[in-house]
Structure 1
Amino acid sequence: MWINPLTDSVEHANCFTLYGKGPGYFAMLAAVIGVPLLVLYALIRCIRTPMRRRKWLWIVFILFGVTSLSLNWTTGALHFNLLTIQLFGAGAQAQLYSPWILSVGLPVGAIVFLLKRRSLMRSEESSTTVQDEAAPDSEATAQ
């Protein structure tokens, strides 16, 4: 049996502080803040993009991030989980007296939508143009 007395309280040892943290911590914190902002930007762009078909599928695809890289803020331990789906692609959690765990996923839906947005708009414009050309003119039918 081993007993290691703590020099400080558990609550203070696991508090969220930026003091003494290295660049990896700040990169993870930037990702946890940046990924949800990217997802929100892509979500707003998707809602405002004129698409008649499959818009709700794009919205669902954008809202979730896949995989997860987690960082224990107290110890610096990293954990990668391949089979994870996260709402808005990031998260942070801490239970009473436990360390903060920051996690970030890949916003695949947001990235794919932002890359394909122009082609989705072009396909929507071309489908409306084809429909307009296929509709008979009211003047031609009146004569």
Structure 2
Amino acid sequence: MWLGGGFSGGTIMKMLRAAVLWAGLLVMAACAPMTIKGDPAREAQADRVLALTIAGDNEAVYAGMSPGLDKATTLTQLAAVRAALPKTPPPPGKTLGVFRMTSTGGDQYVLTRQYDFPGETVFAQTQMIKTADGRWVVNNFNFNKATPEQLKANDFSLMGKSPLHYGMLAVMVAVFGFIVTTVGFALYRRRWGWAFVSLFGFVCFQLNWATGAWGVQPIYFNLLGASFIRAASPLAPWILSVSFPLGATLFWAMRKYRPKPPKAPKAKKGKGAREPFVSTPDDFSPVVETNKEP
């Protein structure tokens, strides 16, 4: 059976399966580790700050910092930071996030690095600025620690989750597949406005994958109806969101998947064009002859 003169039921099912497959691949990609490459010179500078802080060489750390920082305050803060850090030399770091900004006030470079110490992980964020003479100096930095258990709690895992977690994931995949399929139909039928409207979901239901906490945002637009995001830090949880596919639902409810009706041809008028003949009753009235007297 053909629907709308263009797609069969089997074709529709194939498109739905393809959309669901892509949604599944996106979920799998979220579980895969992501590697970000930063400037090797800035990475080495951030590693040196951590190593010197752990070693207690606060004078050397201050020498590489911005000249505008108060020395006494900085040295006191460095001593407090050292007390909270591991006492072993730092292992090789891994870059998690890079942010660089160029403005009239100068260049800034913010680097987030991860260091896996035995039994705990340290996350260091170092902000560096470029001086007038072209040197990069440290403006500020901060450290956070986490145990393997804390990191595992924020991982995206399907093990040991509640029915709410699995239901949320299933609805996300279904909404994503429904929207992608609808947009494909709309583009095929050349209904450009409907294709654009169908891209978005409205009203947002959000779920914290780590804690199971959920919430609703009434005024929200969600591209493709579903998303899963996480901040740059592994300490941040995954946030899943799904929205109602209003545009895609209206597309099918109003039967916009059907072909557009053909336009009536317009009559062309030009020089020498003959006007159409319109008959009247008088044109076909009988002719009655009467006898005339001689």
TM tier, smaller: 0.7 to 0.9
Residue of structure 1 equivalent to 2:238: 100
**Aligned-residue offset at 1:14:** 0.7
Question: Which secondary structure state, in structure 2, belongs to the residue aligned with residue 39 of structure 1?
Answer: helix
Q: Which amino acid aligns with 2:227?
A: G
Structure 1 position 61 matched with structure 2 position 197: yes
Please list every run of 5 or more consecutive structure 1 residues that lacks an aligned counterpart in the other structure.
1-5
**Aligned-residue offset at 1:7:** 7.3
Please list every run of 5 or more consecutive structure 2 residues that lacks an aligned counterpart in the other structure.
1-145, 269-273, 275-294
Structure with larger RCO (C-alpha < 8 A, sep 6+): 1
**Aligned-residue offset at 1:10:** 2.3
1:1-143 correspondence runs (5 A): 8-49=148-189, 51=190, 55-95=191-231, 96=233, 97-117=235-255, 121=258, 124-125=260-261, 127-128=262-263, 131-132=264-265, 135=267
Q: Tell me how far apart the structure 2 counterparts of residues 121 and 36 of structure 1 sit (CA, whole Å).
A: 22
Q: Which amino acid aligns with 1:31?
A: V
Indicate the structure with greater helix content.
1
Q: Tell me how far apart the structure 2 counterparts of residues 135 and 78 of structure 1 sit (CA, whole Å).
A: 62
Q: Which amino acid aligns with 2:179?
A: V
Number of residue-to-residue matches in the alignment: 122
Q: Tell me how far apart the structure 2 counterparts of residues 92 and 7 of structure 1 sit (CA, whole Å).
A: 24
Question: Which secondary structure state, in structure 1, belongs to the residue aligned with residue 236 of structure 2?
Answer: coil
Q: Which amino acid aligns with 1:48?
A: Y
**Aligned-residue offset at 1:31:** 1.3
The C-alpha deviation readout for 1:72-103, integer Å capped at 9, x for no partner, is 01111011000100110110011222111100
The C-alpha deviation readout for 1:44-63, integer Å capped at 9, x for no partner, is 010112x5xxx222121101
CA contact (8 A) 2:198 2:247 kept: yes
**Aligned-residue offset at 1:8:** 4.8
Q: Which amino acid aligns with 2:258?
A: M
Question: Which secondary structure state, in structure 1, belongs to the residue aligned with residue 204 of structure 2?
Answer: strand
Q: Which amino acid aligns with 1:14?
A: N
Q: What TM-score results when the alignment is normalised by the length of structure 2?
A: 0.38
**Aligned-residue offset at 1:117:** 2.6
Q: Tell me how far apart the structure 2 counterparts of residues 114 and 71 of structure 1 sit (CA, whole Å).
A: 28
**Aligned-residue offset at 1:121:** 3.2
The C-alpha deviation readout for 1:89-143, integer Å capped at 9, x for no partner, is 110011222111100001100111022235x636x32x52xx14x648xxxx7xx
Q: Which amino acid aligns with 2:217?
A: N
CA contact (8 A) 2:186 2:192 kept: no
Indicate the structure with greater strand content.
2
**RMSD over equivalenced CA pairs, Å:** 2.2
